[in-house]
Amino acid sequence: MEQHPTHTHTEHQDTGTKEIWRTFWILLGLTIVELAIGFYMYKAGLQPGFFKNFLKGLIVVLMLMKAFYIVAYFMHLKAEINNLIMTIVVPLLLFVWFIIAFLMEGSSYNSLRNSLDRNHNEKSTAPVSPEMKGSKETPSKVTNEKPAHTE
């Protein structure tokens, strides 16, 4: 029997299950808080203002916390080197900034479009210069030069 190696069996520590349940409870807690804030905003019928915008911002922060937690645990980036983590996280942050920039641009376009003077009231009430009175030409065509005569 001396030619057979001796091998003792030991129990493996099951740390993966505890970590998965811990992650589950953290994500569940964040989700419940988000839903509670959302239902409160819906049921309370909050008017637009600072408090409503604060709650919306809080929901976004909680969602980002969940996203980073999911990236860290389920993509197994928690134990990786910082360069690999930054390779994933920095583009994610840039994508979030990209979405925010597009939403702000759309909001600006919408507010400018709503304030557009559709009847051109500003142009029709502008004072007319003396050389334009009685002229059939548009203001862009009026010059001080005399038209050339062709024969």
DSSP letters of 16-82? HHHHHHHHHHHHHHHHHHHHHHHHHHHHHTPPSSHHHHHHHHHHHHHHHHHHHHHHHHHTT-TTS-H
Q: pLDDT per residue over 98-129, tens digit each?
A: 998 998 898 888 787 767 666 666 665 666 67
Q: Is residue 118 part of a domain?
A: no
Residue span of the structural domain in which 53 resides: 18-74
Q: Is residue 97 part of a domain?
A: yes
Q: Which residue has the tokens 């548009």?
A: 138
Average of per-residue pLDDT values in the chain: 78
Q: Do 69 and 98 have their domain in common?
A: no
Q: Do 68 and 95 have their domain in common?
A: no
Q: Do 67 and 91 have their domain in common?
A: no
Whole-structure pTM value:
0.49
Q: Is residue 87 part of a domain?
A: yes
Q: pLDDT per residue over 30-69, tens digit each?
A: 999 999 999 999 898 888 888 988 999 999 999 988 988 8
Q: Is residue 38 part of a domain?
A: yes
Q: Is residue 12 part of a domain?
A: no
Number of domains comprising the chain: 2
Q: Is residue 90 part of a domain?
A: yes
